[in-house]
Structure formats: C-alpha cells, structure tokens
C-alpha cells in the first residue's frame, strides 16, 4: 500500500475530519471490524463513503506471538480483511525486546500497514508483566523497546522496499502520565525515536476513565510536541488524540480545538458500527417506536445485531466466549421503548439461535403489530 499517512495528511488539508478506530481487547475483533467496514466505510456498491481512516487490531501479546503454541491461539486476533480494512495497524504489548522484534516481523508478514506499541493500557494484569501503562514508570526499558522496535521497522522497510513497495509504519499509544500529568518529561522519551504515528489518551493511568479526558490542555500538548520535535530536528509524528469522543461531530470540534491530525474513537463505536458514516449515523438517531422512521431504525439496529451475532458465532465461536457479544447487546439495545426488557432477555442467551428467536418475537410484538 502507498504511504497512507501522506494520503491522510492531504485529506486533512482539504478539511476532512479524520477519525480512527481505537484498539479494544475483546471488542475490535475481526468480526466487529467487518461489520464496521460494511456499515461505516463502504456502501452496497463497494464505494468508499466513510471511515474509519485507520483500523486497529485488538492488542496482542508479543510474548505470546513469539512462541509457537501461543501464536496458534493469538493469530485469530490478527485476522483482517486485506481489501476492506485498510490501512490497519496491529497493536502489541510486551516488555521483552526479543519478543517485540519477533512479533513485529510476524505482523509485517501478515501484511499489516504498521505496528503500534501499547504504552497505555491500565489493566493490572498487563501492568504486572511490566507492559502497558507500567512503561511510564519504567522509561529506560521503554526507550530500549522503542529503539529496537524502530530499528526492526526500518530494517523491514529497507529490506523489502523494492520488492514489495510497502510503507510499514511505526507508532506508539500512551497516556499523559502515571499518577499525574507529566507529558513534558514522558513524551520526549518516545518522540526521540520518531514514531510515524503518536496516539495520546488524554488521561493518566491513575485516572483510568473515571474523569473526563483532558481536552482543556489538548492544544498545548500538540504545540509542545511540534515545538519539541522542531527544536530537536526530529520528525513530527501524525498526532492522534483519544478520550470521550462519541461521534464525528465531536471529532471535528476536537480536531479544531486541539489542532491534532485525527481523533481516535473507542467507546463511541459500541452499538453504532455505522458511526464513521456521518449521514447514516444522523439518520439512525430517531428511535421512537410511535413513528415509522423510528421503527425502521430499530429494525435496522436489530438486524445488524443479528448479523453481528451470527458472524461472531461462525467466525469466533471456537476461540472466544459467546458472552463477549453481550457487551455489544448492552450498546445496541438502548434508547427506545421495550429496550430494557429486550436487553435483559438477550443477556440470558447462549447462542445465535436463542438471540434470533428473542429478536423475532420483539419485532413481531413491538414493530409489526404496534
């Protein structure tokens, strides 16, 4: 693929709102991304109509990928549609340099458009492995990992430049600090290794998601990064900000407010895989069961829920618990009369057959007869 960042930079200059899909474990699996691509990025004629402008995989253990047995279990996390999910980055976490570089080679061979190093996950089990947000407290190790990872990416790009003519990017995602906002000390340790993409979750590790993202300092953060890289003769990365953005309307506002290149959307995608298609998103806002438009929208949502469930059971049923789908049901079924009861019933299901029966009953009683 061509250098997708140059393409995105040109789109940004033309005033297009750039929004990317956040990597979320047990959420942005290849089935959900397939649904997102179908309803957000392309229309029925396979014409490009929306985003996300960059896809991310679920984040995956570099340690697991670098071992034969672990790799067999984890490769399902790195499955993607090479036609519909471009550009796409694979996010990994790890604290062992040898395993990080081996994982990058695997990701390259799988034909991803880049690798993303996670220095921001606040999960305690991840931190116990000295990964994710723990890197903010172990900055010497973080630098060693970044140095080796960047060297590996450069090596791969140089080695296959003529034969494959690919652009394989190097990126990092992190937070503003660990216990307090300390980006002025932390970010230079990352910027030193000139990532192509730098994604910042606008909270500290301590804050988790318990407070609002710090958009009030977003512009000063972007200014700091641009001034620091210029002063030190470093490449300024493609800058993505993350935190509390629920749709493309907010994304546009936040880009203007902060002067970042793009916004990352995570929780906003739950229950709305059409979110990155602004026209479709606005069209589906009416959920009034007393109007034809509202009924049509609820039916539209239920049919996508059924499609998502069937695809999950077929494609991931052997690998992941069916209960993963229930977090999606919580999001899909909301905001209309009868949603609470329908959602409660769906939470008791164990397979697609049961989900289908419950949804068909609801449609017959609440939409067709009403």
Mean per-residue pLDDT over the chain, rounded: 95
The single-letter DSSP state of residue 265 is E
Domain end among 276, 296, 312: 276
pLDDT average, residue stretch 14-39: 94
Domain end among 276, 296, 324: 276
Indicate if 88 and 187 belong to the same structural domain.
Answer: yes
Domain end among 254, 276, 298: 276
Indicate if 206 and 310 belong to the same structural domain.
Answer: no
Burial class (CB in 10 A: 0-12, 13-18, 19+), 286: middle
Indicate if 304 and 338 belong to the same structural domain.
Answer: yes
Pairwise pLDDT comparison (187 vs 158), residue with the higher score: 187
CA torsion 312→314→315→317, rounded to 10°?
70
Indicate if 327 and 183 belong to the same structural domain.
Answer: no
Q: Residue 349 corresponds to which tokens in the numbers above?
A: 């299901």
Indicate if 272 and 250 belong to the same structural domain.
Answer: yes
pLDDT on residue 209: 87
pLDDT on residue 160: 73
pTM equals: 0.95
**Domain with 19 in it: what CATH number?**
3.20.20.70
CB within 8 A of 122, min separation 6: which ones?
Answer: 132, 133, 175, 205, 208
pLDDT average, residue stretch 312-328: 96
Instruction: State yes or no: cis peptide before 175, omega within 30 of 0.
Output: no
pLDDT on residue 68: 86
Q: What angle do CA 332, 45, 248 make, to 5 degrees?
A: 45
CB within 8 A of 262, min separation 6: which ones?
Answer: 8, 12, 18, 19, 20, 53, 54, 238, 239, 240, 241, 255
Indicate if 138 and 224 belong to the same structural domain.
Answer: yes
Neighbours of 366 (CB within 10 A): 20
pLDDT on residue 43: 86
Indicate if 354 and 264 belong to the same structural domain.
Answer: no
Distance, in Å, from the CA atom of 212 to the CA atom of 204, rounded to the nearest integer, reads 11
Strand, coil or helix: what is 93?
strand
Neighbours of 39 (CB within 10 A): 23
CA torsion 58→249→312→100, rounded to 10°?
-10
pLDDT on residue 325: 97
pLDDT exceeds cutoff 80 at 161: no
Half-sphere exposure of 257 (CA within 13 A, CB side): 14
For residue 338, what pLDDT band results from cuts at 50, 70 and 90? Answer: very high
pLDDT exceeds cutoff 80 at 96: yes
pLDDT in tens, 143-160: 999 999 999 999 999 887
Strand, coil or helix: what is 277?
coil
pLDDT in tens, 287-317: 999 999 999 999 999 999 999 999 999 999 9
Indicate if 184 and 311 belong to the same structural domain.
Answer: no
Distance, in Å, from the CA atom of 215 to the CA atom of 226, rounded to the nearest integer, reads 17
pLDDT on residue 69: 87
Strand, coil or helix: what is 174?
strand
pLDDT in tens, 47-95: 888 999 999 999 999 999 999 888 988 999 999 999 999 999 999 999 9
Percent of the chain clearing pLDDT 90 (strictly above) = 89
Distance, in Å, from the CA atom of 209 to the CA atom of 202, rounded to the nearest integer, reads 10
What pairing do the DSSP bridges indicate for beta strands 19-21 and 114-119? unpaired
Indicate if 272 and 295 belong to the same structural domain.
Answer: no
Indicate if 116 and 251 belong to the same structural domain.
Answer: yes
| Alpha-carbon distance values, 166 to 5, 64, 107, 189 (Å) | 12, 26, 13, 28
DSSP string covering 151-202: HHHHHHHHHTHHHH----EEEEEEES-SSS--HHHHHHHHHTT--SEEEEES
Range of the domain at 27: 4-276
Q: Residue 24 corresponds to which tokens in the numbers above?
A: 């979320």
CB within 8 A of 124, min separation 6: which ones?
Answer: none
Indicate if 123 and 68 belong to the same structural domain.
Answer: yes
How many structural domains compose the chain?
A: 2
Indicate if 293 and 257 belong to the same structural domain.
Answer: no
| Alpha-carbon distance values, 255 to 17, 140, 248 (Å) | 8, 32, 10
pLDDT on residue 1: 54
Q: What angle do CA 222, 130, 67 make, to 5 degrees?
A: 110
Pairwise pLDDT comparison (160 vs 8), residue with the higher score: 8
């Amino acid at each position: 693929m061509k250098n997708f960042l140059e393409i995105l930079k040109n789109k940004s200059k033309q005033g297009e709102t750039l929004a990317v899909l956040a990597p979320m474990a047990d959420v942005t699996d290849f089935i959900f991304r397939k649904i997102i691509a179908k309803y957000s990025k392309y229309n029925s004629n396979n014409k490009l109509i929306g985003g996300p402008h960059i896809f991310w995989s679920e984040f995956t253990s570099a340690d697991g990928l670098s071992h034969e047995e672990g790799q067999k279990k984890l490769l399902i996390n790195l499955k993607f549609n090479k036609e519909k999910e471009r550009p796409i980055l694979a996010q990994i976490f790890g604290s062992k340099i040898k395993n990080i570089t081996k994982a990058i080679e695997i990701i390259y061979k799988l034909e991803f458009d880049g690798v993303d190093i996670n220095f921001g996950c606040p999960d305690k089990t991840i931190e116990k492995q000295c990964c994710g947000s723990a890197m903010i407290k172990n900055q010497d190790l973080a630098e060693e990992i970044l140095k080796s990872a960047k060297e590996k990416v450069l090596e791969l790009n140089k080695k296959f430049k003529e034969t494959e003519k690919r652009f394989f990017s190097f990126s990092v995602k992190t937070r503003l600090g660990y216990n307090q906002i300390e980006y002025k000390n932390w970010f230079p340790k990352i910027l030193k290794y000139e990532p192509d993409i730098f994604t910042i979750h606008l909270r500290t590790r301590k804050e988790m998601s318990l407070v609002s993202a710090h958009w009030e300092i977003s512009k000063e953060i972007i200014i700091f990064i641009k001034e620091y890289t210029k002063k030190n003769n470093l490449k300024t990365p493609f800058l993505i900000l993350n935190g509390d953005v629920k749709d493309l309307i907010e994304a546009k506002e936040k880009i203007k407010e902060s002067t970042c290149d793009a916004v990352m959307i995570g929780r906003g995608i739950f229950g709305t895989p059409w979110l990155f298609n602004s026209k479709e998103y606005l069209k589906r806002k009416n959920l009034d069961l007393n109007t034809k438009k509202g009924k049509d929208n609820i039916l539209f949502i239920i049919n996508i829920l059924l499609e998502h469930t069937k695809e999950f059971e077929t494609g991931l049923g052997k690998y992941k618990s069916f209960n993963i789908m229930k977090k999606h049901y919580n999001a899909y079924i909301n905001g209309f009369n009868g949603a609470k009861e329908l959602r409660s019933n769906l939470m008791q299901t164990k397979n697609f057959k049961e989900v289908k029966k419950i949804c068909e009953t609801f449609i017959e009683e609440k939409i067709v007869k009403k």
